[in-house]
Structure 1
Amino acid sequence: MNAPTLDKLRDYALLMRLDRPIGIWLLLWPTLWALWFAADGVPDLHVLAVFVLGTVLMRSAGCAINDFADREFDPHVARTQQRPVAAGRVTPAEAVRLFVVVSLVAFGLLTSLKNTLALALSVPAAVLAALYPFTKRWISMPQAVLGVAFSWGIPMAYAAVRHEIAWGEVLVLMAANLCWVVAYDTYYAMADRADDLKIGVKSSAILFGTRDRLLIAVLQALCLLLLGGLGIADGRGPLFFGGLLVAAVLALRQWQRTRSRDPAACFAAFLDNNRFGFAIFAGLALDHAGPWLASALGVVA
């Protein structure tokens, strides 16, 4: 393989943000919450593998179409001007083709589950992934569309595990995740607020104005309250609620860190939401594993 081809592959990897996996984690945590709730514990390993790999693929596809949509804006934002499309190393047509190819690979992976309902739900998932980047021109809070897109793995997880959707649980999980996504992506938008105002990109950070941190705190609190309510209804134990408590402490630290609204601090708070999502998943997984661990330890003793 010659050097130009290697360079092109490297640019494709950068276009898909494989060097910055934060987006993969933020998309994966709510999907894992849903899989564990739907399966009442560890899901089938085939289903788990498909959803983990599918999350990587769909986040990668979303980044490709995002950079196509933002090709006129990214060169004017300091943090994004070296992205492959903005810098001219990947053409807009190549970005679209990459989105289509990666999305089709994800769809092919999903077909291995032989689950018609999950396959049907994958179509709006792809539409939402393609639509979100363009909403920054149309609506004042595109983060809400991102929240729906990042929540669509939840009904898909229930469909894959149960072959039906328990809409009561699913809608609570989606609402909780929607609140969380808008909260952390507002931190992200706060880091770019000055540049976005100059180039005319809309965001929740601009919409919220001086109430940005207050509304982020409210949204994170709503997320945790909704998850707590679902945990009570589902009969979850202290380990699950301990995970929610850890997430609350992390949210408080993010809020304190961003008092100055310094862009670097806001971006750091955005990144810290990986630990927020992990804390919730760890509490849920440990809570489900608790009886098994107690039994195993009893046998060993």
Structure 2
Amino acid sequence: MAHVRSTNPPIASRAALYLDLIRWNRPAGWLLLLWPSLAALWIAADGFPGWHLLTVFTLGTILMRSAGCCINDVADREFDKHVKRTASRPVTSGALSAQEALAVGAVLALMAFGLVLTTNPPTILLSFLALAVAIAYPYAKRLVSMPQAVLGVAFSFGIPMAFAAVQGGQQWSFSAVGAAVPWHAWCLLAINLFWVLAYDTEYAMVDRDDDLKIGIQTSAITLGQWDVAAVMAFYAIYLVSWGWVTTRLGVPTLAWVGIGLGAAQAAWHFWLIKGRTREGCFKAFRLNHWVGFAVFAGTAIALERL
């Protein structure tokens, strides 16, 4: 009897597609999410927050960033066909169906939610708001001129969740969320938004020519000739404001060493993006997680030396 060849791709090939879908070989994305969340954990706990919360927020960040990639690729699959950098993504190229990508994203999001369930009610309630913002972001570029601001909220939501996880009680109400998340946590979220505006505008500068052709809106297009100046202003607002607020909260001035190292990297990024080349802008974006790491490390080391 002749053997019938299976039409299904080998398991190894499908696994490779899933890993490509969630950008497993590009950890910069989840690192950009991780460092502000960990900095907030240390601030909320006045030092090391414990292995449980460190594990929850680290693994949860990786899982939710991966789930976000699935949602984003499905939402943008028609746009991505016309962008050089994204045309070969699994959903865009047809290697994976939209339904399969969403199923992968749902599984990852449920795994992240399982981690959140080990915390407390205020954190769990905030996780629903975080998910709503994450789902809304891919569609923001169809509606607003600077969708990077929406991404900024999504990528900064780990900050109030960190405060809720450390300081929250066991009550199931949004008033309990208000009690667990002080005003300065929301202030740090707003400040972190400027860092997201800086690095995601650099990212948008990579695709500006393609985005203009297909008619979507980005901060790079909206800012026009002021893009480089705006990116540097965003960095400055983020770094100075973060340092000022955390100092007011009692974080020792040693944390400014980390902020200074972040500022030095931002200055280097100016030289990378000032020519507006694809290569320079993309390199600046990919290396941004070191800015966040410097700020986190300075904060954590300063608090541990209290």
Q: Indicate the residue corresponding to 2:28 in structure 1.
A: 22
Q: Indicate the residue corresponding to 2:271 in structure 1.
A: 256
| Cα shift at 1:288 | 1.5
The letter of the residue matching 2:237 is L
In 1, Cα distance between the equivalents of 2:101 and 2:216?
21
1:150 aligns with 2:165: no
Q: Is the 8 A contact 2:47 2:304 kept in 1?
A: yes
Q: How does 1:155-166 map to 2 (within 5 A)?
A: 155-163=160-168, 164-166=179-181
Q: Indicate the residue corresponding to 2:138 in structure 1.
A: 133
In 1, Cα distance between the equivalents of 2:272 and 2:101?
36
Q: Report runs of 4+ in structure 1 exceeding 6 Å deviation.
A: none
In 2, Cα distance between the equivalents of 1:91 and 1:3?
13
In 2, Cα distance between the equivalents of 1:192 and 1:282?
32
| Cα shift at 1:168 | 2.0
Q: Is the 8 A contact 1:71 1:86 kept in 2?
A: yes
Q: Is the 8 A contact 1:172 1:227 kept in 2?
A: no
Q: Is the 8 A contact 2:122 2:180 kept in 1?
A: no
Q: Deviations over 1:11-57 (max 9, x none)?
A: 11111111111101000011011101100111021011011000000
In 2, Cα distance between the equivalents of 1:73 and 1:243?
38
Q: Deviations over 1:236-279 (max 9, x none)?
A: 22320111111111111101221111111011111121110011
| Cα shift at 1:3 | 6.0
Give the TM-score of the pair, scaled to structure 2. Answer: 0.92
Q: Indicate the residue corresponding to 1:68 in structure 2.
A: 74
| Cα shift at 1:7 | 1.2
**Matched-pair identity in %:** 47
In 2, Cα distance between the equivalents of 1:141 and 1:4?
41
In 1, Cα distance between the equivalents of 2:60 and 2:160?
14
Task: State the superposition RMSD in angstroms.
Answer: 1.3
The SS at the match of 2:291 is helix
Aligned counterpart in structure 2 of residue 55 of structure 1, from 47, 57, 61: 61
Q: Indicate the residue corresponding to 1:294 in structure 2.
A: none
Aligned counterpart in structure 2 of residue 111 of structure 1, from 113, 117, 120: 117
Q: Indicate the residue corresponding to 1:286 in structure 2.
A: 301
In 1, Cα distance between the equivalents of 2:187 and 2:270?
24
Q: Indicate the residue corresponding to 2:174 in structure 1.
A: none
Aligned counterpart in structure 2 of residue 120 of structure 1, from 118, 122, 125: 125
In 1, Cα distance between the equivalents of 2:141 and 2:302?
39
Give the TM-score of the pair, scaled to structure 1. Answer: 0.93
Q: Deviations over 1:146-179 (max 9, x none)?
A: 0000111111111101114343211221011100
Q: Provide structure 1 residue ranges, at least 5 long, that are not aligned to the other structure.
A: 292-301
The letter of the residue matching 1:196 is D
Q: Indicate the residue corresponding to 1:296 in structure 2.
A: none
The SS at the match of 2:180 is coil
Q: Is the 8 A contact 1:33 1:281 kept in 2?
A: yes
| Cα shift at 1:138 | 1.2
In 1, Cα distance between the equivalents of 2:67 and 2:261?
32
In 2, Cα distance between the equivalents of 1:282 and 1:112?
26
